[in-house]
Structure 1
Amino acid sequence: MTKDDLLKALQQTLIKTKAVKISDLSELKGYSLTDLLDLTFHHETAIAFRAAWVLENVQERFPERFDPLLTDFLNKYPLQKNFSSQRHYTKILFSLLERNKIAPDFDYEKIIEPTFEWLAMEQTPVAVKANCMSILYLLKEKDDWIAGELKAEIEFLMKTGGAAIQSRGKKILSLLA
């Protein structure tokens, strides 16, 4: 499957089963995951979103295929400005952290700073904020200040946040206590 074929597939409206099928093709047809990662920055936000969704499915279903892309993904993580793509990027990052896939000598500031920025930005969608809380909780041991700053940010967000922010906020605050 060429990059053009992949782009054509992503121009179509996707449902979960089709996103999974396209991720399965990464294994069968061997399209370039670098091309897929690049398409998560496509100027058409719908294509970027679909590419990020497929990338998340590849990471979930074929982690061994995603592993060679890890460094590129981590380097591009802070550059992602598409809110819809950020949702999938944060889900991927959370999964990578949970599975200890990131090298201990990695410069974690590269992902901590943008994750805090996304959490604090008023226009960031709730799902992205919730994922950011979970990511930062997993990163709390990487620097002394993270837990305190995360606690303060969650408490601030919970003052006006909806049900999802309240729920995730309470969960993370109880884990921080």
Structure 2
Amino acid sequence: MTKDQLYNELNYVNATRECRAKYANIVLADSELVNPLIEILFMVNDKISTRAAWILEFACKENINLILPHLNYFVANLSKLQLDSAIRPCAKIIEIIIELNYKKHDPRILKYLNTEHKEQIIAVSFDWMINDEKVAVKAYSMATLYYLGTEFDWIHEELKLILQRDYSHQSSGFKARAKYVLKMLGVIVPKCHSKNN
């Protein structure tokens, strides 16, 4: 399948799990589709790019190896993403990679993930934390930064400051993940008695 054919196929993708899984299985069966899929994903002003992101996320959840040979391009372009529905799946893919690296010491990840990737991921994850992104993106970024902070010690202090600053005025979903991350960072979050709880 060519890039143009893949682009046309993505017109038929919708947000249902079944549909995303169906197209992810096509990519899983033919790893040659990963590169054009990522190229479409980074056509950042095109709404089809979000569909490419959905498919890539589903495929990576099944087999993270698919994206590893494309990590340079993928990570270098994350900061260009503009559409919320493309950022969320990419933030999840990054969380998976980082967790496999730091929590599981997965040799596949250790082979591909380098210091430059980590620095780019740190920058984009902090951007997603401080920008007006959806809660899921912030939640994935918190976890990503927590794990990266086990190697880059300055990250935990910055992450604490952001979480403590934003805690009282964010959604309950944000608060739940932030409370968990803050606890891992040794911070006890006081109960908030505001209307937003």
Which TM-score applies when normalising by structure 2? 0.82
| Match 2:174 to one of 152, 160, 165 | 165
Q: Is the counterpart of residue 28 in structure 1 residue 37 in structure 2?
A: no
Q: Is the counterpart of residue 142 in structure 1 residue 144 in structure 2?
A: no
Aligned length: 175
Task: Measure how far apart 1:78 and its partner are.
Answer: 2.5
Task: Measure how far apart 1:31 and its partner are.
Answer: 4.3
Which TM-score applies when normalising by structure 1? 0.90
In structure 2, the residue matched to 1:80 is 81
Q: Is the counterpart of residue 44 in structure 1 residue 54 in structure 2?
A: no
Aligned-residue identity in percent:
28
Which whole-Å deviations, capped at 9, do the CAs of 1:86-112 have from their partners, x for residues lacking one? 101110001011111155642222111
Return closer, same or farther for 1:154/1:38 CA change in 2, 3 Å cut-off.
Answer: same
Q: Which runs of 5+ in 2 are unaligned?
A: 102-108, 187-197
Task: Measure how far apart 1:26 and its partner are.
Answer: 1.6
**More moved, 86-95 vs 141-150:** 141-150
Which whole-Å deviations, capped at 9, do the CAs of 1:33-74 have from their partners, x for residues lacking one? 1110111123222x1111001011111113233222222212
Q: Which runs of 5+ in 1 are unaligned?
A: none
The two structures, once aligned, show a CA RMSD in angstroms of 1.7
CA distance in 1 between partners of 2:155 and 2:30 (Å): 42
**More moved, 151-160 vs 135-144:** 135-144
- Structure 1: 4+ residue segments shifted above 6 A: none
CA distance in 2 between partners of 1:79 and 1:154 (Å): 24
Return closer, same or farther for 1:27/1:164 CA change in 2, 3 Å cut-off.
Answer: closer
Q: Which structure has the greater CA radius of gyration?
A: 2
User: Residue 149 of structure 2 contacts residue 155 of structure 2 at CA under 8 Å; is this kept in 1?
Assistant: yes
Q: Is the counterpart of residue 115 in structure 1 residue 125 in structure 2?
A: yes
**More moved, 99-108 vs 1-10:** 99-108
| Match 2:137 to one of 128, 137, 158 | 128
